Amino acid sequence: MGQSDYLREPRGRFSGAARAVVLPGSTAEVAAVVQYAHAHGIAIVPQGGQTGLCGGAMPDQTGRQIVLNLKRMRRILALDPVDGTVTVQAGCRLSALQQAVAARGWWFPLSLASSDDCQIGGNLATNAGGHNVLRYGNVRELCRGLEVVLADGRVWSDLKGLTKDNSGYDLKQLFIGAEGTLGIITAAVLRLAPRPAQQALTLVPLPDVATAVQLFGHLNAALGEAVTAFELLSTFSLDLVTRHFPDLPAFPRTGRPWCVLIELSRTGAGADLAAALADVLAPVVGAEALHAAVTAADRRQMDRLWAVRNAIPDAQRREGPSIKHDISLPRGRMAPFIAEVLPLLQARCPGVRPCIFGHLGDGNLHFNLSAPSGGDAPAFLAHREALERLVHDRVVAHGGSFAAEHGVGQLKRGEMARYKDAVTLDLMRRIKRALDPDAVLNPGKVLPEP
Ligand code: FAD
Ligand code: ZN
């Protein structure tokens, strides 16, 4: 990568200038850079694979900040087969970690469409979620220990990897999800899982979101932990994949506006998962939908189905300009929220095409809006602020969050000011002042201007 690649996000929405881009090769080198910056009043922007897309890993425009990218720190330091943990440097790419542990017979359950690019440190700094959150939790739940370079250059290290340790505050939790504003994560101990021995994956068409939520409840009751993914996909989002990726499998037209992609998995042997899934589906979705369902017969077909799901963001990009929302809601509020907000959006921007997909099981949706077909891009993007306000106001009114997965970065600082209550913001500022009193680490991110 040339320096400019560190200074512009892949989608081009955020860019910046830097005094230097540093690529340290060890924790000691990270600490030395931070000590220097601290002594000279220079701000540091920690950077991973730049897939967060909220401007969190971008420096400002002044050219005075230092970008510190961890990509050279990519070693697996240890794998403990008794505890089922791996200790890894923060710059290791997620897919590289997945492959390394698979080669040793283990499985790391964090799975994102960006796994070839994002780094473990970035995953931890954003508390990444992804496809397997239902069963394994966000990366916070997978983290057993951290090593962090603090704002004054000291190293705080807790890489013991204990499952239980109630000896005082659980400090690692402060750095997870802090988007690089409280410390620079340099290494982590992560929990591994046995590789599932049996899996089933089915895409089922559905008439509405309420049925999807109801189906999730039934599946959970009947199959519990075996439900590892439950993704809601609007038929429109799948149609975009068919249009822009003709080599990927297309779906039989059913006229139904929604689909769910359900993955079950189990580590041990037991009754056939696909049959168990069909038993739960039949009474809820009906014979016709079950007949139209697409079920993967083997690993290759599973990968192809997931590839369709993962291609949605790219397909939407190829379709033209879009306005994106990364929201979460209590599951019971999803259908009422969508029913309420869609007509409001059409009234505000006639012809807007909602491209909704995401992790319904976690209450998390990518509530994206594509421009009206044949419309003019600047005219559509001129609606951005009004449409974002409309969606986020309704999300918050329904008890949800405006930043479920990708974090706040620079993009949603305004939303933090608008929607977070005063006590929460005060506590966050006190923590920031306690750990980084001189604002060395990622200033201008997450917290709104006082
Ligand atoms: P970056 O984007 O480089 O940085 C993100 C933030 O973390 C910045 O604030 C940066 O300063 C900070 N940071 C980075 N490294 C460190 C470090 N070592 N120490 C301290 N701070 C650090 N996210 C999900 O949660 N679930 C998904 O399913 C998901 N799917 C995605 C699919 C696509 C196609 C894309 C493009 C993104 C997706 N994301 C998803 C968002 C993104 O991949 C995650 O937020 C990821 O965890 C970011 O990692 P990164 O290394 O790219 O971090
Ligand atoms: Zn997602």
Q: Which residues line ligand 1 (CB under 6 A)?
A: 45-53, 56-57, 70, 90, 112-114, 118-119, 121-123, 125-126, 128-130, 179-180, 184-185, 313, 405-406, 409, 442, 445
Return the ligand 1 atom nearest residue 119 CA. 51
Cα 280 to averaged position of ligand 1 atoms, centre (Å):
36
Q: How far apart are CA 100 and CA 74, in angstroms?
A: 11
User: CB–CB of 432/444 below 8 Å?
Assistant: no
Task: Calculate how far, in angstroms, residue 235's C-alpha sits from the geometric centre of ligand 1.
Answer: 27
147: phi > 0 → left, psi -120 to 50 → alpha, else beta; which?
beta
Contacts of 339 (CB under 8 A, 6+ apart): 209
For the CA of 406, the closest atom of ligand 1 is 45
Dist. CA 284–CA 261, nearest whole Å? 15
Distance 192 CA to ligand 1 centre (A): 20
CA–CA dist 322, 228 (Å, integer): 29
Q: Record the tokens describing residue 283, joined without a space.
A: 């009474």
Which atom of ligand 1 is closest in space to residue 91's alpha carbon? Answer: 18
* Amino acid 130: pLDDT: 84
415: which 2 tokens? 């939303």
- Tell me which residue has its CA closest to atom 36 in ligand 1: 51
Q: Domain 320-397: state its class.
A: alpha beta
- Measured CA to CA, the distance from residue 334 to residue 407 in angstroms comes to 20
| Choice from 9, 13, 14, 47 to test ligand 1 binding pocket (greatest atom count within 8 A of CB) | 47
Residue 116 Cα, ligand 1 centroid: separation in angstroms?
Answer: 12
* CA 277 – ligand 1 centroid, Å: 33
Give domain limits for the chain.
Answer: 3-69, 76-194, 198-313, 320-397
pLDDT at position 228 = 93
Quote the CA–CA distance of 268 and 226 in Å, as a whole number: 11
- 405 CA closest ligand 1 atom index: 25
Strands 198-206 and 258-266: antiparallel
3-69 and 76-194 have identical folds: no
Q: Among 126, 131, 136, 155, which residue has the most ligand 1 atoms within 8 Å of its CB, making it the best to mutate?
A: 126
What is the topology classification, in CATH, of domain 198-313?
Alpha-Beta Plaits (3.30.70)
258-266 and 322-323: which strand pairing?
unpaired
Rounded to an integer, what distance in angstroms lies between the CA atom of residue 234 and that of residue 224? 25
Strands 44-47 and 66-69: parallel
- 450 residues of the chain, pLDDT tens digit each: 555 689 999 877 899 999 999 999 999 999 999 999 999 999 999 999 999 989 999 999 999 999 999 999 999 999 999 999 999 999 999 999 999 999 999 999 999 889 999 999 999 999 999 888 999 999 999 999 999 999 999 999 999 999 999 999 999 999 999 999 999 999 999 999 998 889 999 999 999 999 999 999 999 999 988 999 999 999 999 999 999 999 998 877 788 999 999 999 998 777 788 888 989 998 888 888 888 889 998 889 999 999 999 999 999 999 999 999 999 999 999 999 999 999 999 999 999 999 999 999 999 999 999 999 988 889 999 999 999 999 999 999 999 999 999 899 999 999 999 999 999 999 999 999 999 999 999 999 999 987
The answer to whether the beta carbons of residues 45 and 87 sit under 8 Å apart is no
Contact indicator for 69, 119 with CB cutoff of 8 Å: no
Angle of CA points 113, 234, 344, to nearest 5° = 115
CA of 275 to the centre of ligand 1 (A): 37
pLDDT for 3 equals: 54
Q: Among the bound ligands, name the one nearest to the CA of residue 365.
A: 2
- Going by CATH, does the domain composed of 76-194 fall within 3.90.180.10? no
Instruction: Tell me if the pTM is above 0.85.
Output: yes
| Long-range pairs for 418-426: beta carbons < 8 A, 24 or more residues apart | 418/392, 419/392
> Within its chain, how far is the Cα of 292 from the centroid?
30
In SS3 terms, 213-245 reads as HHHHHHHHHHHHHHEEEEEEEEHHHHHHHHHHC
- Location of structure tokens 């005094």: 19
Give the ligand whose atoms come closest to the C-alpha of residue 151: 1
Helix-then-strand count for the chain, H and E? 15, 18
Q: Where are the beta strands (DSSP E) in 280-423?
A: 294-295, 322-323, 326-328, 353-359, 364-370
Ligand 2 mean position to 34 CA, how many Å?
A: 32
CATH of 3-69, one of 3.75.10.10, 3.30.43.10, 3.40.1190.20, 3.90.1300.10: 3.30.43.10
416 conformational bin, left if phi > 0, alpha if psi -120 to 50, beta if neither: alpha
Strands 364-370 and 353-359 come out as antiparallel
Q: Which atom of ligand 1 is nearest to the CA of 446?
A: 9
Rounded CA-CA distance 89/187 in Å is 4
CB 88 within 8 A of CB 42: no
State the Rg of the chain over Cα. 22
Among 406, 397, 419, smallest CA distance to 365 is for 406
Q: Which of 14, 15, 30, 118 to mutate to test the pocket of ligand 1 (most atoms within 8 A of CB)?
A: 118
Q: Which atom of ligand 1 is nearest to the CA of 124?
A: 47
Q: In what order do the strands lie in the sheet containing 85-89?
A: 76-80, 85-89, 184-191, 143-149, 155-158
215 CA distance to ligand 1 centroid (A)? 31
Half-sphere exposure of 408 (CA within 13 A, CB side): 22
Distance from the alpha carbon of residue 407 to the mean position of ligand 1, in angstroms: 8
Q: Which residue has the tokens 């070693």?
A: 75
CA–CA separation, 147 vs 187, rounded Å? Answer: 5
Atom of ligand 1 nearest to the CA of 186: 18
Q: Whose CA is nearest to atom 28 of ligand 1?
A: 130
Residue from 147, 117, 116 nearest 26 by CA: 147
User: Which string of DSSP letters, residue by residue, matches 244-277?
Assistant: H-TTSPP----S-SEEEEEEEEESS--S-HHHHH
Q: Which atom of ligand 1 is found nearest the CA of 56? A: 9
Q: Are 257 and 208 in contact, with CB atoms under 8 Å apart? A: yes
